[in-house]
A and B are shown apart, each in its own frame.
Chain A
Amino acid sequence: MPAVSEAPARSRRHQETRAGRGPVGALVQRAIRDGRVLTVVFTYLFLVYSFVQPVGYRRVYTTTASREEFARGFGSNPGLRLLYGEPHDVATVDGYTAWRVGGVLAIAAAAFGLLAAVRALRGEEEAGRAELTLAGIVSRRMAYLSAMAAIGAATVILWAAEFAGFAFGGLPIAGSAYLALATVLVIPVFAGAGAVASQLASTRRIALEIGSGAVALFFLLRVIADTVAGAGWLRWLTPLGWAEEMRPFAGPQPVVLLLPVAASALLLLVAARLGATRDIGSGLLPERAGGTSLRLLSSPTAQALRSQRDSLIAWAGSFAVFAFILGVVSSSVSSSGIPAGVDKQIAKLGAGSITSASGYLALIFFVYVLGISLFVCAQMGSARREEASQQLETLLALPVGRTGWLTGRLLLAAGGAVAIALLTGLLTWAGVVAGGTSVSLGQMLEAGANCLPVALLFLGIAALAYAAAPRASAAISYGLLVLSFLWQAVGALLGAPSWLAGLTPFGHVALVPAEPFRAVDAVVMIGIGVAAAAVGLAVFRRRDLIA
């Protein structure tokens, strides 16, 4: 290699080329590219959700009188406060939109911040790439700030989407901008929480579990603050409550904006400090020792249960806590103070009947249907990770059949869903009883079991997606699930014809215990789920393993 040996040990000339395209630019670009699917999905969600609410409200409540009646009926209803937070001035399109959007999109914003931060920080470290990046002319702070800058850029995009939704929905410009800001400022707070969790945990999964715990805790605080008399001050303790306290369109308090800004700055600083001195690739929490137990190693399914045990406990624990607390809250639901006729109108908003304790419980269980369906999608996601990380290749090189392996994972997911559903019914019953009212245990277990047909349907869909399009399977299964749920909510709000509303599985869920169990719908959904899973098994039998 003649040309090579004559070159100087280090040629400055080549360093000067492409000036201005240094490591920071490259890192930020990389981080934005890595997060783009997540950003696009949430952008659609923010845009559509913020557009539909003002439009739907105008459609349902055409007169001032009906709006005032609506406002009187809702001011004190714990069922709706639970989902959407404390209402301010809901007799106007602006106030109503702020109420409906604020609570829901604030939770979506929290989820986005957490997912984005954990992916960019712990995800890169767990994949071993952070080590390579940091071996370049890149300091830890630079890598960290680049990741956070990408999340900042996504936050601006989501703000613009939400603002555009409101503006096209006919809301005033200034108020729309402020409302959108109130929502998206939740993102940096939970990105900060995700960043701290990424310093503590050694894997992405554990970091997400820590972060989800924080989101659930703050959601619960907000729920208690909004539904329990005298607990309103708790709202100041949760970032999800701050978004409410900014009161867009109803006496805005912009000074509250300082709270999320300060909290994000603090969390991001803490994460930077924690990350400055630790070993890259490991977390600050001590790794648990491997242990010596040789149980649950008899088959791939047993081993999967072993590896999923912590995750199953985390899911079941979250459902149990929520079920119990919301059960306690349900005892304060009553129909007093709600004018006749309003209850029917509420149904038009896709919220069912929430003026009685059983109607409220039915609404809560309707949300659990979504939760348990998310659980089964997560289980299939874990099966996919087993393939992507090439552990499955090792298994299948042994005398282990593909069909047996996937069937085992499906049974594990289904079994987990059944356990969570019944546990949720049981704990709701316990909560209601602890709250001082009575409800039959059998009815609560039935309400829990009523969550299963949709969950099993989505398990089948997720299995088919996994078999047919492994790399896109998470996007397909989660995407269809969220779309189905929103279809139900938005379809009812816009007054869609019943055949259109019936396209989503959520349109076939009976609101147990307020309505009787719909056996036919349940059997059909389970049947479709099983059929999809069977096709999935057949397809999986025939395809290549894909890393």
Chain B
Amino acid sequence: MLLKAIQAEGLSKRYGETLALDSLDLSIEPGEVYGYLGPNGAGKTTTIRCLLGIHRPTSGRAELFGIDAWGDPVEAHRRVAYVAGEPFLWPAMTGAQTLEFLARLHGGTDRAYRDELVQRFDLDTSKKVRALSKGNRQKVQLVAALATRADLLVLDEPTSGLDPLMEMVFRDCVTAAKARGQAVFLSSHILSEVEAVCDRVGILKEGKLVDQGTLAELRHLSAQTMDVTFEGQPPELPPLPGVQAHQAGPNALRFEVTGSVGPVVTALAGHPVTALVSREPSLEEIFLHHYDGHASR
């Protein structure tokens, strides 16, 4: 059996009184792009620190390609590249010096690919890091990590500070990495980014994984929306299992359907329908669905 890129079992982390991570189970295949969603403070960065053996799990374990991250971080990191959430770099070094330093720390950098990435990200490597904007410092980190061609990229909100153009370059690079068989663990709260590049998504809430699956699976579990417009007054329909209907305008009804839309279509037959628009839930709606209680508290 092929080793998992990431395998976490019952991973928990407690900081004093706070339980930041609550028995997390994760399993990510080589070549898979996994989106890790959650609002600020949900435990995304804590997860990554435990996955990298930078923080010690209170209980449970995390393995990268079968190697225990806490027990042997050096071996575990050989096949991993990391982009931290904040671009904390050495202010007195230039971009080129930083890239060289990080390359030597990692050991597996493809220098030709790195030069190509520098061009694609439009990075001026002759400037000192302290003279760079946050987005440009972020690019330094990204180039350093991508250039390793590591089998697993662990990215903690990697596009914060990037402009939309660079955001597209980043997405291309992730897609290319996936095509080469690299796994990507992408922690983010930018839903469009996750929707665009990820095969599978996990949603974290207060340290717990509350939902996980491919986008199609997550959609299947959530309600999809049907907007139906009628000629004149909407008819009275009998209550349907798994369907919530409410008025959405003088001549329109909105149905929130969990599961198959068949019963709704059957019930509508014979009524004067002028328009029917069906829409799958966006990731945003799935996300907000999980966080509704949290947000209104």
Contacts and interface: CB of A to CB of B under 8 A. Distances in A.
A180 B56 CA distance: 43
Contact of B116 (A1, A134, A139, A142): A1
A1 B169 CA distance: 11
Given A7-B113, A279-B54, A136 B102 contact: yes
Interface string A6-45: 0111110011011001110111001000100000000000
Interface string B244-288: 000000000000000000000000000000000000000000000
A480 interface: no
A21, A140, A142, A279: most-surrounded residue (chain B CB, <10 A): A279
A131 B130 contact: no
A287 B109 CA distance: 38
A277 interface: yes
A479 interface: no
A10 B151 contact: yes
A9 B177 CA distance: 8
Nearest to B104: A26
B160 to A, nearest CB: 14
A169 B16 CA distance: 58
Contacts of B101: 26, 30
Contact of A14 (B91, B111, B176): B111
A62 B80 CA distance: 70
Nearest to A134: B54
Interface string A110-143: 0000000000000000011101111111111010
A483 interface: no
B172 interface: yes
Contacts of A27: 105
Contacts of B77: 135-138
B243 interface: no
A252 B104 CA distance: 46
Contacts of B194: none
A9 B108 CA distance: 11
Contacts of A21: 104
Contact of B149 (A9, A135, A136): A9
Interface string B171-196: 01000100111100000000000000
A17 B102 CA distance: 15
Contacts of B181: 9
A22 B88 contact: no
B171 to A, nearest CB: 13
A78 B141 CA distance: 59
B142 interface: no
Given A23-B107, A27-B105, A3 B116 contact: yes
B106 interface: yes
B70 to A, nearest CB: 9
B149 A138 contact: no
Contacts of B49: 131, 279-280
Nearest to A127: B88
Contacts of A4: 113, 116, 176
A11 B110 contact: yes
B54 A10 contact: no
Nearest to A21: B104
Interface residues of A, number: 43
Nearest to B31: A9
A388 to B, nearest CB: 9
A27 B100 CA distance: 12
A278 B56 contact: yes
Given A17-B111, A137-B105, A1 B172 contact: yes
Contacts of B149: 7-11
B82 interface: yes
A279 B74 CA distance: 16
A52 to B, nearest CB: 33
A129 B88 contact: yes
A409 to B, nearest CB: 23
Contact of A22 (B90, B107, B111, B116): B107
A133 B105 CA distance: 7
A307 to B, nearest CB: 22
What does DSSP make chain A's interface, helix, strand, loop or mixed? loop
Contacts of B111: 14, 17
A547 interface: yes
Contacts of A142: 74
B150 interface: yes
Contact of B54 (A9, A11, A23, A131): A131
B182 A23 contact: no
A482 B149 CA distance: 51
B54 A1 contact: no
A286 interface: yes
Contacts of A140: 73
B89 interface: yes
Contact of B104 (A25, A277, A278): A25
Interface in A81-134: 127-129, 131-134
B130 A547 contact: yes
Interface in A252-304: 277-281, 286-287
B108 A23 contact: no
A493 to B, nearest CB: 38
A63 interface: no
Given A128-B88, A131-B84, A135-B84, A14 B108 contact: yes
A5 interface: yes
B52 interface: yes
Contacts of B102: 132, 136
A128 B86 contact: yes
A401 to B, nearest CB: 26
Contacts of B130: 547
Contacts of B56: 277-279
Contact of A135 (B16, B79, B82): B82
Nearest to A279: B55
Given A4-B116, A10-B150, A138 B74 contact: yes
Contacts of B55: 279-281
Contacts of B290: none
A239 to B, nearest CB: 32
A25 B141 CA distance: 21
Nearest to A27: B105
A7 to B, nearest CB: 7
A13 B98 CA distance: 22
B135 to A, nearest CB: 15
B208 interface: no
22 contacts: A7-B180, A8-B149, A9-B149, A10-B149, A11-B149, A14-B108, A14-B109, A14-B110, A22-B107, A30-B101, A34-B90, A129-B89, A132-B82, A132-B102, A132-B141, A136-B102, A140-B73, A277-B56, A279-B56, A280-B54, A281-B55, A286-B16
Given A128-B84, A137-B108, 4 more contacts: A129-B89, A132-B82, A133-B105, A139-B73
Interface of B: 16, 49, 52, 54-56, 73-74, 77-82, 84, 86, 88-91, 101-102, 104-113, 116, 120, 130, 141, 149-151, 154, 172, 176, 179-182
Interface of A: 1, 3-5, 7-11, 14-15, 17-18, 21-23, 25-27, 30, 34, 127-129, 131-140, 142, 277-281, 286-287, 547
Which 3 A/B pairs are nearest by Cβ-Cβ distance? A128-B88, A136-B105, A26-B104
